[in-house]
Amino acid sequence: MFKDAKRRAVFGVTLLLLAGLAYAISRQLHFPTGKIELDTALSQLPYYAAYSLMRMLTAYFLSLLFSIFYGYIAATVPKAEGPMIAVLDVLQSVPILGFFPVAVFFFVNLFRGSQFGVEVASIVLIFTSMSWNMAFSTYESFKAIPNDLVEAADGLGVRGWLKFKKALFPICIPRLIYNSMMSWAGGWYFLIACEIIAIGSIRYHLPGLGSFLIESVESGEVWRTFYGLFVLILMIVLLDLFVWRPLSVWGEKFKYEFTTTATVPSTSFALQWYRRLRVARRWGRIKEIIGKPARALNPRRYFLPAGERLAQETRERVWIPLRRGLGYLLVGGIFLLIGWSFFLLIEGLAKPLPPEAGRIPGALLASFLRLGIAYLLALAWTVPVAFWVGENPRAFRIVTPIAEIGASIPATALFPFFILLAVHVLGGMNAAAVLLILTGMQWYLLFNLIGGVQNIPGDLKEAAKALGVSKWLYWRRLYLPAVFPALVTGSITAWGGGWNALIVSEYVVYRRETYAVNGIGAMLDRATYEAGDKQMMLLALITMVIAITLLNRFFWRKLYLYAVERYKIDY
Amino acid sequence: MDLLEVEKVSKVFNQNGVPMPVLKEISFRVQEGEFIALVGPSGSGKSTLLRILNGLIPPTEGRVLYRGKALHSVNLDSAMVFQSFALFPWLTVLGNVELGLEARGFPIEARRKKAIQFIEKVGLDGFEEAYPRELSGGMKQRVGIARALAVEPKLLCMDEPFSALDPLTSLALREEVLMLWEDKSMPVNTIIMVTHIIEEAVFMADRVLVLSTHPGTLVADIPINVARPRDRKDPVLNEYSDRIFSLMA
Ligand SMILES: Nc1ncnc2c1ncn2[C@@H]1O[C@H](COP(=O)(O)OP(=O)(O)O)[C@@H](O)[C@H]1O
Ligand SMILES: [Mg+2]
């Protein structure tokens, strides 16, 4: 009980910290005006693709390092575990895109208005979209290391880096690969969003596929937009075939008997090619050549076993106090940060509320309705499709590849088309905003539902059919209850995606003309990009975070627990 | 000098904040060259005691002396064999056996040569590149034994090494362990084995230590005065078994 209260306290403090920090760093806003030019010649397309890919890779490797480090510390330092996991919990439920404007201004200011600041901001944002689930996965994997394995390593005298490399880290690999694939797919969404926002709302040059897409639409060359989209999809599919699939098949060998991972493809033609090319052995040889001089420098080689003893003594005398010191420093730093953001928060909120603040509840409601409509639309097509797929295997073979391609297109890449639609066809943003949100929600639902349908035991279906139940009864008594847990899980992720989508879909700049609807996302965007009103920005952000947190705590989590308890098919 | 001296070792675990005594004032000595079996009902703290003897976990009270010196961290002169085999699933047989040598800073050629030698010693030639999951239980435990022997320990600690194996395999492996123990070319000459099968203890050991439960205390220290090689069906061994069984019941 006490532990729970402590967790909740950390949760609250982290929220405050984030909000305060967001406010603190957005205190001086400068943004350039005027149009920036981006060359949309097709010959530039490869460069843009390379730029986007570089951004993704940088963010991904940062996430990888972060998640391994964070997961390891959280799993092995008992005092740090509780707070670190609570912080991760909060970070995971925050709408990341809401912080993009803040991040942009912070880094642009930090780098004195240079291009580099936007670049850093976009990488930071993609990083935040990738890291949390990866960190959770490493944490859980490290926690799951069987005690015997650790003792086997200790008993053999395996220590330090060797222990980490050979005895501990490998257990993370299968889940880390799986989560990397998820994060990588999600990363594209945020990457394209960053590039589009940068060029549209804040007028910075962030060369990449996203900016190419929006620029080519704005200059009326829609066919170029299609080229851009094609290159993007091609890149995503190739990376999947030649990097992620072989990796996930290769990762199977690291599975410990009792660890379970989500299903991964079990074959990969690319992996077979790599095996035939003996990639691993060649890499080993390269490492050998590079590593030789490094090993010659290793002092342990010359001082055996006295050097060994010295090393151990150094470790005990120096490293342990040093580590403790670092721990204290870190905790102190965090407390300072908390105090500072509290101060700023109070300072920011103590001012009389601006008149627009009265419109926040209305805006929140409008956004909520938009999310609700998009969610219902998504349900309306995914539930029957999932049912159809579950009932006949042929449909499964048709739908799966289509859905996989569809889901691999980051929804943000379609924004330029939706803007065209909104401006020229629908004559307003409202319908377009709902469509945009829908694209950010539907795939999560579809994949979870298909997974749920496939998990219905065949004998249950046959039993129902043998009883001669009508189609309606079959739906009500078997299909809906059986997929309910999957539906809830899918809905939670879909709403998470939806809140993020709000920020890019309620406020759009097209040909220097702003198209916006009344909503909390638009309010946040307007406060940052137009008015530079920090107080409003802070209020909108806090409102959103609180709404999401409350919804998660009091609706989705309850529903999830209920679903698991009531409808789990388990013999 | 005795190889191992155990002086009033006690261990208390914390379970949800409640202290739970597991071992209480255990004292005994082990001479070089002895084969000791540690028996007791499940939960009597046999595994805990073995880990303390190996230096993997510290005792709450008392101390363990190895060659007259108090043990403060893992005893690198001893090695452990686990009931669950505790093989690293991502390392090949060779990788598993090499690991202890790598930790001791052996250069790659030397450790490979030595590892292969021990893999052959346990009869697994040709399986160097196999992964543990491709092996049967008996073969896995052979890898576990090869891995322990490869670091050339003086003392071998085994925690129910044959319990996870089928009866025939475990019979065969018992004989092999005895052969390895008697093999003069092996540095290892002292073995402490935990087991809950009394017949196994009596058949293999020079001395059987009997633990009682809640908390574990040493209730008997019984030398098995039967010449080797022994016959499993020897009625004298049965008498020993019956005596130990009545002590535990
Ligand atoms: N790390 C630990 N933390 C708390 N309790 C433990 C721990 N290890 C063992 N115990 C407890 O100590 C008792 C003895 O365990 P163990 O030494 O494994 O017994 P045995 O091997 O004789 O079956 C058991 O009740 C077990 O639950
Ligand atoms: Mg045990």
Mutual angle of helices B137-150 and B108-121, in 10-degree steps: 130
Beta carbons of A154 and B74 less than 8 Å apart = yes
Taking the Cβ of residue A254 and every Cβ of chain B, the question of whether any pair is shorter than 8 Å is answered with: yes
Nearest beta carbon to residue A149 from set B54, B86, B105? B86
CA distances from A189 to A8, A368, A414, A516 (A): 31, 22, 10, 21
Q: What is the CATH number of domain A31-256?
A: 1.10.3720.10
Is the pLDDT confidence value at A107 over 70?
yes
What average pLDDT does chain A have?
Answer: 79
A239: closest CA of chain B, how far (Å)? 25
pLDDT at A154: 92
Question: Atom of ligand 1 at shortest distance to CA of B51?
Answer: 17
- Ligand 1 centroid vs B61 CA: distance in angstroms? 17
Name the helix (H) or strand (E) containing B80: strand B78-81
- The tokens for A488 are 């809830």
Q: Which of A409, A41, A44, A404 is nearest to A230 (CA)?
A: A409
Q: Which of A455, A453, A454, A445 is nearest to A490 (CA)?
A: A445
Burial environment of residue B164 by CB neighbours within 10 A (0 to 12, 13 to 18, 19 or more): middle
Contact by Cβ (8 Å): B179, B100: no
Pairing relation of β-strands B61-66 and B190-194?
unpaired
CA distances from A112 to A124, A195, A199 (A): 18, 20, 18
Q: Which residues of A244-261 are buried (b: 16+ CB within 10 A; e: fewer)?
A: bbbbbbbbeebbbeebeb
Taking the Cβ of residue B84 and every Cβ of chain A, the question of whether any pair is shorter than 8 Å is answered with: yes
ipTM for the whole complex: 0.90
Is the pLDDT confidence value at A252 over 50?
yes
Does A358-571 match A31-256 at the fold level?
yes
Is the pLDDT confidence value at A257 over 60?
no
What average pLDDT does chain B have?
Answer: 88
Question: Atom of ligand 1 at shortest distance to CA of B45?
Answer: 17
Beta carbons of A148 and B79 less than 8 Å apart = no
Question: Atom of ligand 1 at shortest distance to CA of B159?
Answer: 21
A375: closest CA of chain B, how far (Å)? 43
Is the pLDDT confidence value at A28 over 70?
no
What is the dihedral sign for C-alpha B148, B152, B158, B163? positive
Most confident of A233-242, A248-257, A448-457: A233-242
> Which of residues B153 and A259 earns the better pLDDT score?
B153
The protein residue with its alpha carbon nearest to ligand 1, atom 27, reads B43
Nearest beta carbon to residue B100 from set A151, A156, A253? A156
Cβ neighbours of B74 in A, within 8 Å: 154-155, 157
Q: Which residue in chain B has the smallest CA separation from A156?
A: B100
Of A220-234, A473-487, B50-64, where does mean pLDDT reach its minimum? A473-487
Neighbouring-strand partners of residue B39:
B210
pTM of the predicted model as reported, rounded to 2 decimal places: 0.82
> Which of residues B240 and A466 earns the better pLDDT score?
B240
Q: What band does B37 get if pLDDT is binned at 50, 70 and 90? A: very high
Each domain of chain B, given as residue ranges in start order, spans: 2-77+189-248
pLDDT at B59: 92
Q: Which of B241, B69, B86, B248 is nearest to B161 (CA)?
A: B86
Residue A287: count other Cβ atoms within 10 Å of its Cβ. Answer: 10
Most confident of A4-18, A93-107, A540-554, B67-81: B67-81
Pocket of ligand 1 (CB under 6 A): B 13, 15, 22, 40, 42-48
The residues, any chain, with a CB within 8 Å of residue B229's CB and separated by 6 or more, are none
Question: Biggest alpha carbon distance in chain B?
Answer: 53
Taking the Cβ of residue A304 and every Cβ of chain B, the question of whether any pair is shorter than 8 Å is answered with: yes
In this structure, which amino acid lies at residue A567?
Y
pLDDT tens, residue by residue, A313-325: 776 777 778 877 8
Each domain of chain A, given as residue ranges in start order, spans: 31-256, 358-571
In this structure, which amino acid lies at residue A475?
W
Taking the Cβ of residue B80 and every Cβ of chain A, the question of whether any pair is shorter than 8 Å is answered with: yes
Give the Cα separation of A19 and A545 in Å (integer).
Answer: 9
Beta carbons of B100 and A157 less than 8 Å apart = yes
Share of chain A above pLDDT 70, in %: 87
pLDDT at A298: 60
Under CATH, what is the fold of the domain B2-77+189-248?
Rossmann fold (3.40.50)
pLDDT at A299: 57
The protein residue with its alpha carbon nearest to ligand 1, atom 8, reads B48
pLDDT tens, residue by residue, A54-67: 999 999 999 999 99
Taking the Cβ of residue A162 and every Cβ of chain B, the question of whether any pair is shorter than 8 Å is answered with: yes
A273: closest CA of chain B, how far (Å)? 21
Give residue for tokens 């001395």.
Answer: B207
Q: What band does A247 get if pLDDT is binned at 50, 70 and 90? A: confident
Cβ neighbours of A287 in B, within 8 Å: none
B134: closest CA of chain A, how far (Å)? 11
Most confident of A2-16, A18-32, A54-68, A311-325: A54-68
Q: Is the peptide bond before B59 cis (omega within 30 degrees of 0)?
A: no
Taking the Cβ of residue A255 and every Cβ of chain B, the question of whether any pair is shorter than 8 Å is answered with: yes
Provide mean pLDDT across the span B18-32: 90
Contact residues, B window 24-53, toward A, CB-based 8 Å cutoff: 51
CATH architecture of residue range(s) A358-571: Orthogonal Bundle (1.10)
Q: Which of A409, A429, A411 is nearest to A419 (CA)?
A: A429
Burial environment of residue B114 by CB neighbours within 10 A (0 to 12, 13 to 18, 19 or more): middle
3-class DSSP state for residue A19? helix
Nearest beta carbon to residue B103 from set A157, A255, A257? A157
pLDDT at A259: 39
Give the Cα separation of A206 and B90 in Å (integer).
Answer: 42
pLDDT at A2: 56
Contact residues, B window 116-175, toward A, CB-based 8 Å cutoff: 131, 133, 147, 151
Cβ neighbours of A284 in B, within 8 Å: none
